[in-house]
Amino acid sequence: MTKKLLYAAQMTAFDKDGNINLDGIRALVRYNIDVNKVDGLYVCGSTGEAFMLNTDEKKQVMKTVYDEANGAIDLVAQVGSLNLKEAKELAKYATDLGYPKLSAVTPFYYNFTFEQIKNYYNEILKDVDNKLLIYSIPALTGVALTTDQFAELFENPKIIGIKYTNADFYLLERVRNAFPDKLILSGFDEMLLPALALNVDGCIGSTYNLNAPRVRAEMDAFEAGDIEKARELQHISNDMITDLIANDIYPTLKLVMKHLGVDAGVVKKPMSQPTPEMEAGAKAIYEKYFK
């Protein structure tokens, strides 16, 4: 039985003016390696607020995370962009830095056809010697790929798996069984246990920046056949996720990180800047789940 993989979706620290804060990014990486003991980091994804960064900022984030991790854990660079030229440039940049894996969100907004989506992935990978995870997140992109479409994308041998952020468990079961050798990582933290039951290889998530030790214990319990313990741990995590969402999850993740001793700065506008109420909510979350 192979150990399930735990990846944190790396946050990007910003100052109040929306500039990236490289020291904050380094501190987050250190915490994920030293305290959370994650297997890897997913860099420049949704949690990294990457769709609000320019190309140079994305490169700085990728380089800073790569340098700080210094080969200690796996790294996945999310390079997807509506600007295919940028996606290609980032794929080359991350590959040249040494990132062992890439990922790219399905292109969104323009209702691209499947043929166009397939060309996008093949184009991103054409000139780079690297592997890629499809980032499938239909709730935010509107792009819901079918099992047959995943099969067509997997015809490209560089496409090695899926970051599956989708509440469709019927599809997950179909995809898992159709592609037993592909890497499938579950992306909804609150649905990890049912995803484990369908034999995903592990998970990637935002809340693991705070909650990785509890999630590791849940995955270990699941692997050991102690489903009751796994369920109890998922229940605590889901109470925490419910509280995070109620308090506005992205800014609150950073506020709770501060209580854990890591200054991750604030989120980037137009995301909400912390209010006194939000700060009080974050303190309560820290005290309830992490003290």
Which sequence positions are flagged as catalytic?
135, 163
| 189 near ligand SI3, judged by CB under 6 A | yes
State the alpha helices, DSSP H only, in 35-113.
55-69, 84-97
Residue nearest to ligand SI3 (CB): 45
The single residue among 21, 206, 209, 252 that binds ligand SI3, judged by CB under 6 A, is 206
Of 21, 10, 13, 20, the C-alpha closest to 45 is: 10
| 241 near ligand SI3, judged by CB under 6 A | yes
Nearer to ligand SI3, 140 or 151 (CB): 140
Nearer to ligand SI3, 152 or 169 (CB): 169
According to DSSP, residue 103 is labeled E
Nearer to ligand SI3, 187 or 265 (CB): 187
Are 89 and 123 within 8 A, CB to CB? no
Q: What's the closest the beta carbon of residue 225 comes to ligand SI3, in angstroms?
A: 25
Q: How far is CA 283 from the centre of its chain?
A: 24
List binders of ligand SI3 among 140-159 (CB under 6 A). 140
| 40 near ligand SI3, judged by CB under 6 A | no
Nearer to ligand SI3, 113 or 137 (CB): 137
The single residue among 40, 161, 202, 205 that binds ligand SI3, judged by CB under 6 A, is 205
Q: For Cα atoms 147, 94, 180, give the angle at the middle one, nearest 5 degrees.
A: 25
What are the Cα distances from residue 216, in Å, to 1, 36, 162, 166? Answer: 16, 9, 21, 21
d(CA 249, CA 158): 34
Q: Which residues would be at the binding site for ligand SI3 (CB under 6 A)?
A: 9, 42, 45-48, 140, 165, 187-190, 204-207, 241, 249
